[in-house]
Chain A
Amino acid sequence: MRTELTDLTVAEIRDGFRAGDFSAREVAEAFNANVAAAKALNAFIVETPEHALAAADQADKDKAAGTLKPLSGVPIGMKDLFCTNGVQTTAASHMLEGFKPTYESTVSQKLWDAGAGMLGKLNLDQFAMGSSNETSYFGNVISPWRSKNGGNAPLAPGGSSGGSSAAIAARLCPAATGTDTGGSIRQPAAFTGISGIKPTYGRCSRWGIIAFASSLDQAGPMARTVQDCAIMLENMAGFDARDSTSLDLAVPQWEAGLSADLKGKKVGIPREYRVDGLDADVARVWDDGIAWLKDAGAEIVEVSLPHSKYALPAYYIIAPAEASSNLARYDGVRYGLRDLPDGANLQDMYAATRAAGFGPEVKRRIIIGTYVLSAGFYDAYYTQAQKVRTLIARDFATAFESCDVILAPTAPSAAFALGDKTADPLAMYLNDVFAVPASLAGLPAMSVPGGLSKDGLPLGLQIIGPAFDEQSVLNAGLAIEQRAGFTARAEKWW
């Protein structure tokens, strides 16, 4: 019996297509059909089956002509934070509803140049602000997963890349782009039983990605396997002169460099992450991860990241501060929403437009960011937070003197029900507690599935590496993937 095409990984699609097992068009049609049939998940804001088919037809032609590209035949999902030429790009905000850029983000362009096709623009938290995909103007994304215990409450797919995680877990696409500012790739990957990597800050160009917090935003891939993440990342990363913070480094051949043999490697376990009241399932999977990496040949060492507890508060000062400034451009003057009440002056137009265009969470962060940058508060908040950021980066640098990678949980719990935390922003922010330190330090970090909670929901393991060493992160991820034997998948209900 032939496997469903939509169950294949990126590598399997690429290789099967090359081997002539199926055409690119067959693959695109299969995924287009899954996307069309999964409206209940609300993973896509815009579906672009025609784009996927056009790329597939081109791939079929290229195959005949012998001019195949690295991702020929592979359709993917594009987080709707990446500007796509001629295709509505909204950041899941009413503010940008109907906005069609005249330009293509560097990362998406690289993927199209590599032969990939676009299945659609994936839903997300508004302006990437959120951990549950409940802040989108276009509605919540529903996780394909259901708890084995206690009803059928719709679950959060994580955020902000919740459309990406849900779509991959539900086999609507084999891989997707994500962006990670404080865990937005890793946490949704963990919630939905898939993998995702945030590379070193600067690996992927930010040009054409709608900014949330510039010093933290970083694009990365999400997929079902570590190998797929490596393939995708190779085709997303690279120096871009249009982004001043872009790393001027060659892109390593991460896929070819994959090795699950960790002999001679040291894995650091951060003492401070073992917090009181750590969820028992999370602690158990973390211990499993430790055992698997030991089994792969690694030596386990304890490391200390003493300033970890200040990471979350520092993050929730720096990220909103940058966001408050980055989002000032949405003023109703040049594009997007304009709300011009009768007799309104310029200030009135700003106020009306921004009141109508931004959702509550975006407004909350703009207000926090404006406050922490205000005269008289700047030193107490922003300057202090920057100092914390420096200390956290130093913590990691010190830790990496005695280990090659760090293993930690991705999130403090499995997916929660939609609505569970919306009334309490702080509880929501706590979801990022393990993810944020690597973001502040700009380090590569990935989440791979580690097992299931007692309720049958996925839990992720996070691997953090030194700057520029995505390879070690991917390799440790691969070692876990091979041993975790994570085959669970959401049963189709949609």
Chain B
Amino acid sequence: MTESTYRIAGATGDWEVVIGLEVHAQVTSQAKLFSGAATAFGAEPNTQVSLVDAAMPGMLPVPNRECIRQAVRTGMAINARINKWSRFDRKNYFYADLPQGYQISQLYHPLVGEGSLAIEADEKAGIAEEKVIGIERIHVEQDAGKLMHDQHPTRSYVDLNRSGVALMEIVSRPDMRSPAEAGAYLRKLRAILRYVGSCDGNMEEGSMRADVNVSVRKPGDEFGTRTETKNVNSVRFVMQAIEYEAQRQVDVLEGGGRIVQETRLFNPDTGTTRSMRSKEDAHDYRYFPDPDLLPLELDDTFLDACRASLPELPDAKRARYEGLGITEYNAAVLTAEVETARWFDALLEAGAKPQQASNWVSSELFGALNRLGKSIEDSPVAPAQAAELLALVADGTISGTISKQVFEIMLETGDAPGKIVEEKGLKQTSDTGTIEAVIAKVLADNGDKVEQYKGGKEALFGFFVGQTMKAMQGKANPQIVNELLKKALG
């Protein structure tokens, strides 16, 4: 594996940046991790709070099997070891958004152990070849509530809707060496989560956020002291935070200073980080096994069912597409988002030819959706209709040019392509008699150009093709036009 060449140039030489990410991903589930309360985003404050979430006296947590299942499936998707025996621990601290006075998490025995994911080569981003990023663990834990400081001039309010919502904490190894690698890791992780369906990956709504661990060192040296920048909520911000933080650390070190192990906050408006608290002020969380909960024991039946429920994942799908003769580029584009892949698979299912279909989707469909400002799930043209359109091109019923016209009509009316072709008389003609007659007229009308062509200006061939097609309103079979023109021009 070639190492990243990303360096920060300092007065004393080049510095390498070392990055690890702790991603908090909200588990897609109707109910919270330990209560039956709902988890929908954007509900009125304190409307999705059970007695358990509010930590009323005598209330007890009961694990939600669906949240565990989703975390296990996620672990399987990153080829991780699933721990058949895991346990919940309490992380104790006081804060107004934490009703129990502790967060139920997993410190000592996480649900998911060592795994990994691969980020693809990206020359432009300085990632020379595919790179495997280690994932240390995934554990499940409760989210906290939210403080609202804008409701009253002197008081803060608490919204407990998020209190108790299930999160997966996905902890990477410090294997990334550039902001681009971190960005690629996050995008890949997000894609996997969305393929698996265990997290919607919506960073704006807070379904996914990252704590960014950054340190710098001279290449080949031991790891430096790291800082942790909390709760960064977009790929771009994560990359910015790393750039800023790495440069800051280099400046500190070269200025003769020392990096303090601390928690920092990212300011998206300025792209900078600032100190929140140092290790000395760190909480003593007094972790201990939650005595309200038995250890989580998973049997093979459960694990087998989890494994069987996994969809084809991005890497496998991409390899399969490439095997179908789809270009590397198109395969990457088509598998980057689960919705695209799902749409494309449906298109193949409906009988479309892979190469033709992949080119059409990445140019025509994406172009149209872009123009309409729609996502692929809301595409006005369904995969089955698109397959029919592509089939009409493939069997010579219409030309490629006409197909664009038909597609436009499909986008507007939602009509089936066959019907459009029929009604508008767009069928391509391969009748040599008709075409020959048109060619004869074109050549007769352009005698001067024919002379020039014969005199050696062969580029004019395209002009004759164009004129013929124009005269036939694009409906002539271009191959036959070519053949007959060649013959006619001798």
Contact = CB atoms under 8 A, between A and B. Distances in A.
Interface in A292-325: 321-322, 324-325
Nearest to A216: B291
B99 A83 contact: no
Contacts of B100: 328-329
A329 B96 contact: no
A194 interface: no
A375 interface: yes
B354 interface: no
Contact of B288 (A91, A211, A244, A382): A382
B58 A333 contact: no
B288 A329 contact: no
A101 B156 CA distance: 25
A328 B288 contact: no
Contacts of A492: none
Interface in B279-307: 284, 286-288, 291-294
B203 interface: no
A209 interface: yes
B96 A244 contact: no
Contact of A374 (B59, B90, B286): B286
Contacts of B10: none
A103 B60 contact: no
B252 interface: no
Interface in B33-89: 51, 54-63
B288 A333 contact: no
A214 B292 contact: yes
Contact of B94 (A242, A244, A331): A331
A296 B223 CA distance: 74
Q: Classify the interface of chain B: helix, strand, loop or mixed.
A: loop
A110 to B, nearest CB: 15
B291 A99 contact: no
A443 B138 CA distance: 36
Interface string A375-388: 10010001000000
Nearest to A383: B288
B92 interface: yes
Contact of A373 (B62, B156, B158, B286): B286
B212 to A, nearest CB: 25
A191 B287 CA distance: 38
Given A322-B291, A329-B100, A373-B92, A334 B55 contact: yes
Interface in B146-166: 156, 158
Interface in A195-241: 206-211, 213-215, 241
Contacts of A207: 58-60
A370 interface: yes
B49 to A, nearest CB: 10
Nearest to B88: A244
Contacts of A378: 286-288
B466 interface: no
A48 interface: no
B56 A211 contact: no
Contact of B101 (A241, A243, A329): A329
B407 interface: no
B102 interface: yes
Interface string A84-98: 000001010000100
A82 B58 CA distance: 8
B62 A242 contact: yes
B102 A83 contact: no
A215 B291 contact: yes
A23 interface: no
A112 B18 CA distance: 63
A374 B57 CA distance: 25
B144 to A, nearest CB: 13
A366 to B, nearest CB: 11
B101 A325 contact: yes
Given A241-B62, A328-B101, A346-B96, A99 B286 contact: no
Nearest to B91: A325
B286 A244 contact: no
A249 to B, nearest CB: 15
A208 B58 contact: yes
Contacts of B61: 244
Residue from the set B56, B286, B294 with the largest chain A CB neighbour count within 10 Å: B286
A244 B63 contact: yes
A105 interface: yes
Given A213-B291, A325-B90, A206 B60 contact: yes
A350 interface: yes
Contacts of A321: 288
Interface in B99-119: 99-102
Contacts of A324: 92, 286
Given A328-B92, A328-B102, A373-B286, A245 B57 contact: no
Contacts of A91: 57
Nearest to B285: A375
A103 B51 contact: yes
A331 to B, nearest CB: 6
A409 to B, nearest CB: 28
Contact of B102 (A99, A325, A346): A325
Nearest to B290: A214
Contacts of A82: 58
A335 interface: yes
Given A83-B57, A101-B56, A370-B286, A333 B99 contact: yes
B53 to A, nearest CB: 11
B51 A333 contact: no
Contact of A350 (B92, B94, B286): B94
Contacts of B60: 206-207, 242-244
A210 B101 CA distance: 15
B41 to A, nearest CB: 23
A89 B100 CA distance: 19
Name, among B58, B99, B100, the residue most crowded by chain A CB atoms within 10 Å (CB to CB). Answer: B58
B294 A333 contact: no
Contacts of B63: 244
Contact of A214 (B99, B156, B158, B291): B291
A325 B286 CA distance: 9
User: Which of A101, A105, A213, A334 has the most B CB atoms < 10 Å from its CB?
Assistant: A334
12 contacts: A91-B57, A101-B58, A102-B51, A206-B60, A210-B58, A245-B294, A324-B92, A325-B90, A325-B288, A328-B94, A346-B95, A373-B288
Given A206-B58, A325-B288, A334-B55, 15 more contacts: A96-B57, A101-B56, A103-B51, A208-B59, A215-B291, A244-B62, A245-B294, A325-B102, A333-B99, A334-B54, A346-B96, A346-B156, A373-B286, A375-B286, A378-B288
Interface of A: 82-83, 89, 91, 96, 99, 101-103, 105, 206-211, 213-215, 241-245, 321-322, 324-325, 327-329, 331, 333-335, 346-347, 350, 370, 373-375, 378, 382
